[in-house]
Amino acid sequence: MGMCLSRSSGPVKKRQSKRLTNQSAAAVNGGGSNRWSRNRSSKRDDSIIQERALAAAILLQQQMQNGGGVGAVPFDRSASLRYPNSNSKKNPPLPRSSSSRARSLTDPLLQPHQLVNQEVKVDDLETNHLDPLVHGGGFGAWCWYKTIALLEEAGFKVTAVDLTGSGIHSFDTNSIASLSQYVQPLTDFLEKLADGEKVILVGHDFGGACISFAMELHSLKVSKAVFVAAAMLTSGQSALDMFSQKESTIHHDNPQEHMLYVSETLFIEMRSRIFEENCPKIVSGKTDSNDLMRQSQIFIYANGNDKPPTAIDLDKSLLRDLLFNHSPAKDVALASVSMRPIPFSPVLEKLCLTDSKYGSVRRFYIETTEDNAIPIALQQNLISNNPPEQVFHLKGADHSPFFSKPQGLHRILVDISRIPST
């Protein structure tokens, strides 16, 4: 009986299993769904593979463009870091910086600095020496670090000089007695050039007066001169005169009294008057550009208060508003620990410029539209009084375009270098 029961239970189980096959229709349909899911996953995987292949092609193309050849840089196989599994159920990763994010198909093949430098063929230029770069009053060669990097990457030969008592030049600023002494590092550089070798001089701020002095001495060694928000003076003018619409007719019998008057009254008041008459008020909190210039100047009397000042320092707390109102904070910090006093005697010295020497050099001017130190109206006065060959407009730049608009400044310098000789 037991055997009979065991036999009878067997077929029942088989029949039940056969009936279950009818219910498994849904499972069959489910299997179709699984196949569709697998197909979708396969397509997604194909898309990822295609994207990886495209990224590899882009990397290869960049290596070829940079002259590295096929095997210059080993291929990075850690693609999973850049293309995470789309099926991952983990929380989305935190945003990464652009330097480590995955490359998008919409990204340019070249980096921004490479886009700036593309199509630059320095071998076809009259000269590929864009130097020396001459800093303004209180600055040093350090201020050109972005410009140097961009120009060198484009293939130019670049040098930035520290004028006497500036940057890391160890000479005491208070002991500088003349413009020729102040610009000696620049004139020494030009004297050492080989016969027939020419350069493009670039001067910023008071560096404009310095390159003008050098152009008069070494006109045959200068292909072009570029004035960047700079003192572009005429013969008989000093940097002080730049801030006056007419030369001073004030005279004193006592030369010492005259120097004191010029230093303490004329320098400040002339600059203030030209701001008030020609320049719009540029508000920074409760201080306009005129007040900023007046408040920022600190006269240094190294030889005693009864003698003419020896240098002018700038209040570090006002540097941002006066010189760097559109510059990155890190560059303002660099300037605040690097700037040095401006020697006073060179500021008073009048230039002697001739048409046969200084006048034979092609001049170009770069305007800085958001400048609080030499406002745009004052720059345009300089241009109208001493017209250059061409004027360039650097929109959005403060008095320090090498910080606030480095790529725009670079582009203009390259464009000037491309202008053919006449």
| Over residues 362-372, mean pLDDT | 97
Q: Looking at the domain assignment, is residue 56 inside a domain?
A: no
> Residue 13: pLDDT band by 50, 70, 90 thresholds?
very low
> Residue 369: pLDDT band by 50, 70, 90 thresholds?
very high
**Whether the predicted pLDDT of 327 surpasses 70:** yes
**Predicted pLDDT at 106:** 53
Q: Looking at the domain assignment, is residue 155 inside a domain?
A: yes
**pTM (global) more than 0.75:** no
Q: 194 or 16: which carries more pLDDT confidence? A: 194
* Angle in degrees, CA 362, 396, 322, rounded to 5: 90
| Over residues 327-353, mean pLDDT | 96
Q: Looking at the domain assignment, is residue 74 inside a domain?
A: no
Instruction: Report how far residue 160's alpha carbon sits from residue 88's, in angstroms, rounded to the nearest whole number.
Output: 53
**Predicted pLDDT at 207:** 97
**What residue numbers bound the domain in which 149 lies?**
120-418
3-state SS class at 244: coil
> Residue 200: pLDDT band by 50, 70, 90 thresholds?
very high
Q: Say whether 124 is catalytic.
A: no
**Predicted pLDDT at 282:** 38
**Whether the predicted pLDDT of 335 surpasses 90:** yes
| Over residues 166-184, mean pLDDT | 96
**Whether the predicted pLDDT of 19 surpasses 60:** no
Q: Looking at the domain assignment, is residue 49 inside a domain?
A: no
**Whether the predicted pLDDT of 2 surpasses 70:** no
Condensed to tens digits (0 to 9), the pLDDT of residues 37-78 reads 556 666 666 777 777 777 777 776 666 666 544 444 444 443
Catalytic: which of 162, 321, 371, 398? Answer: 371
Q: Say whether 131 is catalytic.
A: no
**Predicted pLDDT at 131:** 72
CATH number at residue 334: 3.40.50.1820
Condensed to tens digits (0 to 9), the pLDDT of residues 380-405 reads 999 999 999 999 999 999 999 999 99
Q: Looking at the domain assignment, is residue 414 inside a domain?
A: yes
Closest-CA residue to 136 (of 170, 166, 175, 178) = 166
Task: Give the number of C-alpha atoms closer than 13 A to the C-alpha of residue 143, restricted to the C-beta side.
Answer: 36
Catalytic: which of 131, 205, 288, 398? Answer: 205
Condensed to tens digits (0 to 9), the pLDDT of residues 260-285 reads 545 544 444 444 444 444 444 433 34
| Over residues 136-148, mean pLDDT | 97
Tell me how many domains the chain contains. Answer: 1
Q: Say whether 371 is catalytic.
A: yes
Condensed to tens digits (0 to 9), the pLDDT of residues 300-314 reads 999 999 999 999 999
**Predicted pLDDT at 51:** 75
Q: 238 or 422: which carries more pLDDT confidence? A: 238
Helices and strands, number each (H, E), in the chain: 17, 9
Condensed to tens digits (0 to 9), the pLDDT of residues 25-34 reads 444 444 555 5
* Angle in degrees, CA 21, 26, 32, rounded to 5: 115
Catalytic: which of 135, 218, 399, 410? Answer: 399
Q: Looking at the domain assignment, is residue 268 inside a domain?
A: yes
Q: Looking at the domain assignment, is residue 108 inside a domain?
A: no
Per the prediction, the chain carries an average pLDDT of 76
Q: Looking at the domain assignment, is residue 229 inside a domain?
A: yes
**380 CB-near residues (< 8 Å, 6+ apart):** 367
Place of tokens 């600190």: 298
| DSSP letter string, 146-185 | HHHHHHHHTT-B--EE--TTSTT--S-GGG---HHHHTHH
